[in-house]
Amino acid sequence: MMTRSLVLSALLATWFALGAFCGAPNGSDRLDALLGAADQSFASQTSPRSTDLEFYRRVSLDLCGTIPSAQDARAFETDKDPTKRAKLVDRLLASQAHVWHMAETLDVWWMERRPNKHVAADLWMNWLREQIRTGEPLDFMVRDILQADGTQKESRPAARFFLDRDFEPNLVARDIARLFLGANLQCAQCHDHPRIDDYTQEKYFGLMAFLARTRQFEDPKSKMSVLAEKAEGETTFVSVFDKAKVQKKTPPRLPGKKEIADPLIGKGLEYITAPAKDVREVPRYSRRQQLAGMLAQGAYDPFARNMANRLWAKVMGRGIVHPLDLHHSANPPSHPELLDYLTEELVRLQFDHRAFLRMVVLSEAYQRSSRPTAGPKTNFVETKSDSGNGWRMMPLRPLGPEAYARALLQGSGWTDAQVAAMRATAKKPEDASEDTLQGKMAPHMGPVVGLLKSQPGLAEDFDARLDQALFLGNNGHIRNLIASGALEPKVATMTDADLAIDEIHMTVLTRHPTPEELADWRPLLKEAKASKQPREALRELIWSLIASAEFRFAS
């Protein structure tokens, strides 16, 4: 594994050094053509291209999980290079901020905020970051997860997927189908799905047969939970609707594939380590290992389609198949040819998430404004085949908990203050590195993430609640971030009111104020600076933008 990671790291470094990402985004052009081909009225009803500032904020949130600094946004806005958007995307994808954000994304996808029970969450997150940092393909990562048994130090973090689910076979089978294949087969545990013909008991238990021989084992020597596996045992099932209670047997079988027969192994040779008291059994042939090799590969279409659909949804706000875990014939893709193309591209790119995301975010579909066209009003939501708005305009998307927390640190001026302090006191480069900054962010992000995150074991979803509104409008944590940030003292020294208002809006919302906002803010800013506590009054003005709905969403 170390050899593979080192090779991938070297290839990734060479790729960025040679500027391989900076070529013409032909994949993006094909993507846009397929979207347009699905609807003849597409071109006439699409929103215009986003402004540079809209694009920068959006792509920074999607690729790095935070908003840009006002200084960086101004530099990007005034840059006359026609290829600046592609160069920005390459820079963001090569950053450590992307490593941290993508690791958090995969953690939420695959662990769904479950508490760490047997494998420390820090070990798991460090492992995810290392995989992303070295350019490990997504299929390799999933393969490592499904193969890991927790016995080896280097692979133990990957075993968290199984161990922190206590390897409850039905839970593990359901989550593998849902998260890696995009099929929620939970209902098929007891009977064929009553409304989805594709979701049958045979498919559920064919997948279960890869896992049923595995169990969680408490190692008496290491005092750690690991996985053990028997060499025998068949999987049987019966439908709760079958009055005769006829038992059916199934060998291992991936949905849509042929059954897998166990190899013939001589009697007495079934085990590398035979079962015994306080001994972890290790079979010579592992069904679970077969699952890892067969499922996580481009040749298995459900896996590749699910991964392409999830990556698309990450930056586009909605899956081409939606909900993401309901791929079946009665819920077809909104744009079938587009999903076919994205799947083919992901496989061609060897599950390189950076190259895939680059293709999507440099498409015209992604770069469109979130504002509707000025022409005739069209109700995009009613038509299912439009997948919401058909991506004629970019949908508003709520920020995830981690992205909102980082945006709060940046928008309050806290991040800029930390970066300045780190650079001023750094004795060596790593003292002012992105990783060091991310480490400093963590304790300040905690209260916000804790408030906004979903319940453990559930897919992430936007849920605006009263406690969130009270926190954003009243909690002293936000006041303290603004008070310790670089924005408020900077604005306090500015004598030109319009420039001060512009600085606040650029820092918090990554845009210039409108003429109406300037007119509204001028007397407020004057009053704040003339008050008995001018700094406190300025903080309230900054806070008003941070607590706004605009700040909570990516446009």
The pLDDT tens digits for 416-468 are 999 999 999 988 888 889 899 999 999 999 999 999 998 887 777 777 788 88
pLDDT at position 389 is: 55
Instruction: Answer whether 191's CB lies under 8 Å from 241's CB.
Output: yes
Residues in the chain predicted with pLDDT less than 50, given as ranges, are 1-3, 5-11, 13-24, 376-388
What is the 3-state composition of the chain as percent helix, strand, coil, each rounded to the nearest 5?
Answer: 55, 5, 40
**Domain check: are 541 and 436 in the same one?**
yes
Quote the pLDDT of residue 464: 79
Examine the domain organization and report whether 64 and 77 are in the same domain.
Answer: yes
Same domain, residue pair 131 and 195? yes
Largest separation between any pair of C-alpha atoms in the chain: 90
Nearest alpha-carbon partner for 142 in 168, 161, 121 = 161
Secondary structure tally for the chain: helices H, strands E: 28, 8
> 92-125, pLDDT tens digit by residue?
999 999 999 999 999 999 999 999 999 999 999 9
Q: Say if residue 307 is in the same domain as residue 291.
A: no
pLDDT at 2: 43
pTM of the predicted model as reported, rounded to 2 decimal places: 0.92
Task: Enumerate residues 6+ apart whose C-beta is below 8 A from 473.
Answer: 547
- Cβ atoms of 178 and 325 within 8 Å: the answer is yes
User: Same domain for 537 and 419?
Assistant: yes
Same domain, 278 and 412: no
- Angstrom distance (rounded) from CA 404 to CA 552: 7
- 88 and 29 part of one domain: yes
User: Domain boundary at 295, 315, 344, which?
Assistant: 295
Question: Rounded CA gap, 448 and 66, in Å?
Answer: 14
Residue 23: its pLDDT value, please? 41
For residue 398, whether the previous peptide bond is cis, meaning omega lies within 30 degrees of 0, is no
Q: Are residues 310 and 452 in the same domain?
A: no
Task: Render the burial of 44-66: b for 16+ CB within 10 Å, e for the rest.
Answer: ebbbeebebbbbbbbbbbbbbbb
Residues near 69 by beta carbon (within 8 Å), at least 6 away in sequence:
410, 415, 416, 507
> How many distinct structural domains can be found in the chain?
3
Measured CA to CA, the distance from residue 257 to residue 203 in angstroms comes to 10
Q: How many CB atoms lie within 10 A of CB 529?
A: 17
**Number of CB atoms found within 10 A of residue 450's CB:** 11
Structure tokens given for 33? 């053509």
Last residue of a domain, one of 295, 313, 338: 295
Contact criterion met (CB below 8 Å) for 143 and 161: no
Range of 441's domain? 401-554
Domain end, chosen from 252, 277, 295, is at 295
Q: 467-475: long-range contacts (C-beta < 8 A, 24 or more apart)?
A: 472/546, 472/547, 473/547, 475/447
Name the 3-class secondary structure at 103: helix
Co-location of 37 and 180 in the same domain:
no
User: What percent of the chain has a predicted confidence (pLDDT) above 70?
Assistant: 91
Clarify whether residues 14 and 103 are in a common domain.
no
Closest CA to 459 of 108, 33, 83: 108
Residues 319 and 355 in one domain: yes
Q: Which helix (H) or strand (E) holds 226?
A: strand 225-229
Together in a domain, 416 and 443:
yes
